[in-house]
Structure 1
């Protein structure tokens, strides 16, 4: 599994969450709507990594997913871009 995030999306997260370089942002599975699997969606938190499944660095921030959330991705890659029309991140799984 690969995790990719564009610089524009990374900048959005830095501004929205008011974080600087050398930060860690974790994507985690939570109950919710609009995700890849009905009844689940992705949340994000500023955490310290414990057991990284996938990660990437953009704009000085390490974005990552823990091994305990690997089941949600089912070996699919996650790409995060910035939707210019709504000015929010957009998730795509391939």
Structure 2
């Protein structure tokens, strides 16, 4: 699994979530909602500067974005691209099938 953070998404995380160099952002699966690849589950995002057993990480503009081992089930078989959605003034997520799952 790979995580890609666009420049626009990075700006949103810095401006709206207040992250800065040395911080971390965790993506996770949560109950209720819907994604393009999951029904009954949606993606969650939270500031978490201390990754617990990350299965993947990526750094962008000094911030580490990651998924930990407890949420592997949610992302298995997909890469995640995080972009900025101006209409909703927040992140949007694209799941791209990979050959790992």
- Whether TM exceeds 0.5 here: the answer is yes
Larger % of strand: which?
2
Tell me, in whole angstroms, the C-alpha distance in 2 between the residues paired with 1:24 and 1:85. Answer: 25
Contact 2:28 2:74 in 1 (8 A): no
Q: How many residues align?
A: 94
Tell me how large the CA RMSD over aligned residues is: 1.3
* Matching residue within 41, 55, 58 for 2:57: 55
Cα deviation code 1:2-22 (max 9, x no counterpart) = 111112101101111112111
Counterpart residue number, 1:18: 18
Tell me, in whole angstroms, the C-alpha distance in 2 between the residues paired with 1:71 and 1:19. Answer: 26
Counterpart residue number, 2:70: 68
Which 4+ runs in 1 deviate beyond 2 A? 83-88
1:45/1:85 CA distance change after superposition, 3 Å: closer
* Consecutive unaligned residues in structure 1, runs of 5 or more: none
Q: CA deviation at 1:32?
A: 2.3
Q: How does 1:1-94 map to 2 (within 5 A)?
A: 1-35=1-35, 36-47=37-48, 48-94=50-96
Contact 2:83 2:92 in 1 (8 A): yes
User: TM (normalized to structure 2)?
Assistant: 0.83
* Consecutive unaligned residues in structure 2, runs of 5 or more: 97-101
Tell me, in whole angstroms, the C-alpha distance in 2 between the residues paired with 1:73 and 1:19. Answer: 23
Q: CA deviation at 1:76?
A: 0.9
